[in-house]
Amino acid sequence: MSRPISRPAIVVALLKKELKAYSRDKIYLFLTLMVLVLIPILYTFMPDTVEEQISLAVSPPVSSMVEQARDTLAQMGVSDEQLAQLDEADLAEEQEGLLLVEFDNEEDMQQVVEGTLEAWRTDDGDLVLRDPDADEDKPENAEKLNLDIGIAFPADFITDVAAGQEGVTVTVYSDAAVPEEIQNAMTSFVREAAYQLAGRELPVNMADDESIVLGPDRAGDQVSLKDKLRPMLIFMVLLMETFSMASLVSTEVLQRTVTAVLVTPVKIGDFLLAKTIFGTVMSLGQGLIVLLLVGGLTAENWSLVMTVLLMGAMMFTGVALYVGAAGKDFMGQLFYTMLVTVPLLIPSFSVMFPGTAATWVRVIPTYPIIDTLVGAFNYGATWSDQAGSLAYAAVWLVILFGAGLFALKRKVESL
């Protein structure tokens, strides 16, 4: 007479068996470890700033043009007040998104844009020019400037334009690789500066800056690629576990070891529960390891993040049970899993792009998971902000998880 075994003890025994089978599957074990190592490394090297300024070379310096124009304009009868306004003109400060680098000499600027000369900015703010072909040492404590477009104003540009001289010409030097919209914008920029200097008012009224910016103004505080990638990488880790879990289930179905297990006191419910717990714990565990390595949890978002990670882990476990129930061989199972998971991966790419995801992307079951992760990590979203997404995710979780359990139960019963 054998003593009765409790259900939890059976489930624990099944979990031990799962863990052993998992550790024997060398290829997925290797891939899992590789993902856990590579993802944080990849994350470390991602850019954590957003380049949102156009670097523009200018010759001669604005201050020198103003100085030169000063006397001439005074002689022309320009008032002291207008001259004072000219003194305060600082194009670089006025134009957000434009970084002005001023050159004394047009030829130097031309060569920098052409790429035959390098421009370096020292920590002290000085501009150092270097000939890359002359074996000169790189300047110390300096950063190389990427200047591929520059404007060469004539020395007496201000006075000529203000006096209404004809034939004033400004040259824009540009690397041919500079996008056309930037070249056009710089041309427009020069023209508008000339209109202003010539005293020709805008033919329209412009609203003030505050009223034309819609939504929170993130200029200078954009979400970096690194921050955008964080939810995506964690999501990918959750998804990766689908492959190994599907492989475990598939092998069990294919080799019919499940039938051997079910002649013991193990009931089909124990079997399904053990698979669910194992898949969810493995997926969630790996997600948490990566989350700890890449950071992002705060006192405000931890509960929301943990909840959505749990939902994601369960959702992918459901998918793995469904795919694994087909009981295909290694290659068949691998490509079947890919066929199912690739569409589920699409929403994670949508976070890389600005704006709202397309409607068809938002319908995909994994969208609310990634949407909540992005909201919690990058936009300080709260439970109430994400309530809709969480409810939608819960519906899909029930459907996918139910489908997985149902498919595997039917398969096991049919063996």
| Of residues 279-318, those binding another protein (CB under 8 A) | none
Q: Six-digit token pair at 50?
A: 């957003």
Nearer to another protein, 112 or 238 (CB): 112
Binding mask 68-97 for another protein (x = CB under 8 A): ---------------------------xxx
Helix (H, G, I), strand (E, B) or coil at 156: coil
Nearer to another protein, 6 or 356 (CB): 356
> For another protein, which residue of 23, 44, 53, 85 counts as binding (CB under 8 A)?
53
What part of residues 217-256 is at the interface with another protein (CB under 8 A)? 217-220, 222
Peptide bond connecting 343 to the previous residue in cis, omega within 30 degrees of 0: no
Q: Six-digit token pair at 74?
A: 């005074």
Nearer to another protein, 293 or 334 (CB): 334
CB 293 within 8 A of CB 302: no
Going by C-beta distance under 8 Å and a sequence separation of 6 or more, which residues neighbour residue 228? 351, 352, 374, 378
204 binds another protein (CB under 8 A): yes
212 binds another protein (CB under 8 A): yes
Nearer to another protein, 81 or 209 (CB): 209
Nearest distance from C-beta of residue 42 to another protein, angstroms: 13
Residue 87 burial (10 A CB sphere; 0-12, 13-18, 19+): exposed
> For another protein, which residue of 1, 84, 134, 206 counts as binding (CB under 8 A)?
206
> For another protein, which residue of 13, 15, 21, 31 counts as binding (CB under 8 A)?
31
Peptide bond connecting 139 to the previous residue in cis, omega within 30 degrees of 0: no
Distance between CA atoms of residues 376 and 253, nearest Å: 39
What part of residues 156-195 is at the interface with another protein (CB under 8 A)? 157, 161, 164, 167-177, 179-185, 187-192, 194-195
Nearer to another protein, 4 or 164 (CB): 164
Nearer to another protein, 284 or 344 (CB): 344
CB atoms within 10 A of CB 111: 18
Nearer to another protein, 194 or 319 (CB): 194
Candidates 214-222, 314-322, 364-372, 380-388: pick the segment binding another protein (CB under 8 A): 214-222
Nearest distance from C-beta of residue 1 to another protein, angstroms: 44
Side-chain half-sphere of 294: how many Cα atoms within 13 Å? 30
Binding mask 327-356 for another protein (x = CB under 8 A): --xxxx-xxx-xx--x------x--xxxxx
98 binds another protein (CB under 8 A): yes
> For another protein, which residue of 202, 208, 263, 359 counts as binding (CB under 8 A)?
202
Nearest distance from C-beta of residue 242 to another protein, angstroms: 16
What part of residues 102-131 is at the interface with another protein (CB under 8 A)? 113-115
Going by C-beta distance under 8 Å and a sequence separation of 6 or more, which residues neighbour residue 321? 245, 246, 249, 272, 275, 276, 279, 404, 405, 407, 408
- In 38-65, which positions are buried (b, 16+ CB within 10 angstroms) versus exposed (e)? ebbeebeeeeeebeeebbbbbbbebeeb
Residue recorded with tokens 């030169």: 68
Give residue 234's identity as a one-letter amino acid code.
Answer: I
Distance between CA atoms of residues 87 and 66, nearest Å: 7
Nearer to another protein, 288 or 346 (CB): 346
Distance between CA atoms of residues 196 and 373, nearest Å: 47
